[in-house]
Amino acid sequence: MPRMTAADAAVAILDREGITHAFGLPGAAINPFYAALRRHGGITHVLARHVEAASHMAEGYTRVRAGNIGVCVGTSGPAGTDMITGLYSASADSIPILCITGQAPVARLHKEDFQAVDIAAVAAPLTKMATTVLEPAQVPGVFAQAFHLMRSGRPGPVLIDLPFDVQLAEIEFDPGTYEPLPVYKPAATRAQIDRALAMLDRAERPVIVAGGGIINADAADLLVAFAELVNVPVIPTLMGWGCLPDNHPLMAGMAGLQTAHRYGNATLLESDFVLGIGNRWANRHTGGLDTYRKGRMFVHVDIQPTQIGRVFPPDYGIVSDAGAALELFVQAAGERSRAGQLSDWDIWVKECQERKRTMLRRTHFDDVPIKPQRVYEEMNRAFGPETRYVSTIGLSQIAAAQFLHTYRPRHWINAGQAGPLGWTVPAAIGVCAGDPDATVVALSGDYDFQFMIEELAVGAQFGLPYIHVVVNNAYLGLIRQSQRGFDMDYCVQLSFDNVNAPELGGYGVDHVKVAEGLGCKAIRVFKPADIAPAFERAKELMAEFRVPVVVEVILERVTNISMGTELDNVVEFEELAARKEDAPTAIALLD
């Protein structure tokens, strides 16, 4: 039996489980693990500049490809606590990441040791498992269990905390015969699917709400096949966006309070039946439940049994992996279709399409300073369907969801539920590491960008090029807008006269200089006509220098973006599109 340190065994298991990348930074308590990484030599390590960033890089890496699991590594004490936000974000969005931390030696855990914190207890509510391994011989079993848990049921993160002496202890372990544990995924039965289809059959105006579970299950093709077979419009959630292309005739728009389309909300409110697959009924999607539920019947398919009925009791619930359920939905609907037993919803589909064509928001403005809507219009023109967008939170993200287009699963990569500021730069770097050939375009408000701007250096150091669009209003824009309810504009201004950059006219931080200082390229734009050339130049710079390229767009300071508290009271602050010239990059044009 091969004898090796527990840290060597851990790294060997990472390899056997398909891990090729790790994001992190060393410290004294995790050095034995780094020594094992070095001896192994087969895992690419990306050195983050902040440990929280390493956890977000891991998340971006997981999200870009089915089967990926991002690994983040840090030392004891503050490194673990820094990664807590990443664990929260990953667990909230059902994304598996493995967080590995160093720890004080076992005998010193209760003796005021430097940087010894009970990280397993801190991480417990945010993970599927969080454990400090006290016995070296348990290390292989704990890692095997971690991968089993991350991949089984509703995916989510795991934390493994390794005391210094546990890492160094020698154990018997044979990597050659190591085998990943079987993965558990509940699957719907045919009887359950038939029951749901019978309920669907009685509906007059049905919709499918397609959640992120479909993307996690890598089942977007099955969703499209099923929707086409039954000819039922699809409303993706923010996490499900991209599971059918925005230009698909059955893409009815997103519904919600903020990240939604006018036509998506109108169609949801017109519907009388909702089949939710792999979704959570998150409140940013549903708004008030009375409005959301009124007059409609609900079927809910979810991989986690306890999700059924958690937000409201559905009329029928099915516990299933989204992919397993959709396979049966396609099979059963195919049989009904061949037997001529499917209802005809053609008129309803055409009504949904008409709403998609007519209920548009205006994007074409020529104002200086630039209105944000115009930026998204230019992005739609400049970036093709292969683009993987990465974003976090803010008016920037909300407007992006309203105006950008997504055509493929895993091409809208967003921290949907936790929305931690600072997520965007490191997540984009993780996406680039996970898919080096991808066209990656990140989008941040100025504040999100400033949170973890230092990570740009990681992109420059490791040759991970992407375009980062920064929409700068010198405001915590979303919070400024929500403070209207308190009749205040308090502690939300990012503007100041930068003594080194008077040309910024009071917009504060000189993002171009900071980005350049970190080894990246950067362009600043003040006028609408300069946005498109800036994007083209950014593509050239990215190709030439292989570093992140920032395009900063100086926006008007105050723009309120459409949002509301109920699906039927979303407030529009700008004039709506009246002619096709008002929204020239909308999917279905007004004419």
| Sites of contact with ligand TPP (CB under 6 A) | 393-396, 419-421, 444-448, 471, 473, 475-479
Segment near Mg ion (CB under 5 A), from 23-31, 424-432, 446-454, 577-585? 446-454
Residue 82 is a binding residue for Mg ion (CB under 5 A): no
To ligand TPP, the closest distance from the beta carbon of 2 in angstroms equals: 45
To ligand TPP, the closest distance from the beta carbon of 478 in angstroms equals: 4
Query: Residue 552 forms beta bridges with which residues?
Result: 470, 524
To ligand TPP, the closest distance from the beta carbon of 323 in angstroms equals: 31
Query: CA angle 313-319-323, nearest 5°?
Result: 125
To ligand TPP, the closest distance from the beta carbon of 291 in angstroms equals: 24
Q: Which one, 223 or 395, has the nearer CB to Mg ion?
A: 395
Q: Which one, 292 or 475, has the nearer CB to Mg ion?
A: 475
To ligand TPP, the closest distance from the beta carbon of 450 in angstroms equals: 8
- Strand, helix or coil at 61? helix
Amino acid 373 reads Q
Q: Which residue has 């960008």 as its token pair?
A: 449
Residues in 375-394 at the binding interface with Mg ion, rule: CB under 5 A: none
Of 504, 558, 415, 403, which Cα lies nearest the Cα of 85?
A: 415
17 with 180: CB under 8 angstroms?
Answer: yes
Residue 477 is a binding residue for Mg ion (CB under 5 A): yes
Q: How far apart are CA 469 and CA 449, in angstroms?
A: 10
Q: Say which residues have a Cβ less than 8 Å from residue 357's Cβ, sequence separation at least 6.
A: 588, 589, 590
Query: Can you tell me which of 446, 455, 510, 582 binds Mg ion, judged by CB under 5 A?
Result: 446
Q: Which one, 167 or 481, has the nearer CB to ligand TPP?
A: 481
Query: Residue 209 forms beta bridges with which residues?
Result: 235, 276
To ligand TPP, the closest distance from the beta carbon of 451 in angstroms equals: 7
- Asked whether the CA dihedral 250, 256, 260, 266 is positive or negative, the reply is positive
CA torsion, points 306, 308, 290, 92, in degrees to nearest 10?
60
How far, CA to CA in Å, does 99 sit from each of 13, 109, 122, 149, 150?
14, 20, 13, 13, 11
Query: Can you tell me which of 88, 345, 475, 535 binds Mg ion, judged by CB under 5 A?
Result: 475
- 250, containing H or E segment: none
Q: Which one, 97 or 554, has the nearer CB to Mg ion?
A: 554
Q: Say which residues have a Cβ less than 8 Å from residue 198's Cβ, sequence separation at least 6.
A: none
> Which of the listed partners (ligand TPP, Mg ion, none) does 549 bind, with a CB threshold of 5 to 8 Å by partner kind?
none
Structure letter (DSSP) for residue 273:
E
Residue nearest to ligand TPP (CB): 445
> Which of the listed partners (Mg ion, ligand TPP, none) does 419 bind, with a CB threshold of 5 to 8 Å by partner kind?
ligand TPP
CB count within 10 Å of CB 437 equals: 6
Tokens representing 269? 């409110």
Residue 314 is a binding residue for Mg ion (CB under 5 A): no
Q: How far apart are CA 99 and CA 90, in angstroms?
A: 11
Segment near Mg ion (CB under 5 A), from 158-166, 355-363, 441-449, 538-546? 441-449
Residues in 195-254 at the binding interface with Mg ion, rule: CB under 5 A: none
> Which of the listed partners (ligand TPP, Mg ion, none) does 123 bind, with a CB threshold of 5 to 8 Å by partner kind?
none
To Mg ion, the closest distance from the beta carbon of 369 in angstroms equals: 13
Query: Can you tell me which of 60, 276, 445, 528 binds Mg ion, judged by CB under 5 A?
Result: 445
Q: Which one, 279 or 473, has the nearer CB to ligand TPP?
A: 473
Q: Which one, 303 or 476, has the nearer CB to ligand TPP?
A: 476
CB count within 10 Å of CB 276 equals: 23
Tokens representing 457? 């250096």
424 with 397: CB under 8 angstroms?
Answer: no
Q: Which one, 105 or 369, has the nearer CB to Mg ion?
A: 369
To Mg ion, the closest distance from the beta carbon of 153 in angstroms equals: 38
> Which of the listed partners (ligand TPP, Mg ion, none) does 393 bind, with a CB threshold of 5 to 8 Å by partner kind?
ligand TPP
> Which of the listed partners (ligand TPP, Mg ion, none) does 239 bind, with a CB threshold of 5 to 8 Å by partner kind?
none
Segment near Mg ion (CB under 5 A), from 31-39, 84-92, 299-307, 440-448? 440-448
Residue 451 is a binding residue for Mg ion (CB under 5 A): no
> Which of the listed partners (ligand TPP, Mg ion, none) does 448 bind, with a CB threshold of 5 to 8 Å by partner kind?
ligand TPP
Phi, psi of 85 (to 5 degrees): -60, -40
59 with 113: CB under 8 angstroms?
Answer: no
Segment near Mg ion (CB under 5 A), from 190-198, 372-380, 438-446, 481-489? 438-446
Q: How far apart are CA 350 and CA 250, in angstroms?
A: 9
Q: Which one, 277 or 413, has the nearer CB to ligand TPP?
A: 413
Tokens representing 541? 């710079």
Residue 422 is a binding residue for Mg ion (CB under 5 A): no
How far, CA to CA in Å, does 490 sit from each of 92, 479, 484?
30, 9, 10
> Which of the listed partners (Mg ion, ligand TPP, none) does 59 bind, with a CB threshold of 5 to 8 Å by partner kind?
none
Amino acid 167 reads Q
Cα of first residue to Cα of last residue in the chain, in angstroms, is 74
Residue nearest to Mg ion (CB): 445
Q: Say which residues have a Cβ less than 8 Å from residue 110's Cβ, sequence separation at least 6.
A: none
Alpha helices in 395-552 (DSSP H): 395-403, 424-434, 446-451, 456-461, 477-482, 511-517, 531-545
Residue 317 is a binding residue for Mg ion (CB under 5 A): no
Q: Which one, 242 or 477, has the nearer CB to Mg ion?
A: 477
Residue 473 is a binding residue for Mg ion (CB under 5 A): yes
> Which of the listed partners (Mg ion, ligand TPP, none) does 479 bind, with a CB threshold of 5 to 8 Å by partner kind?
ligand TPP
> Which of the listed partners (Mg ion, ligand TPP, none) does 69 bind, with a CB threshold of 5 to 8 Å by partner kind?
none
The residue ranges that bind Mg ion (CB under 5 A) are 445-446, 473, 475, 477
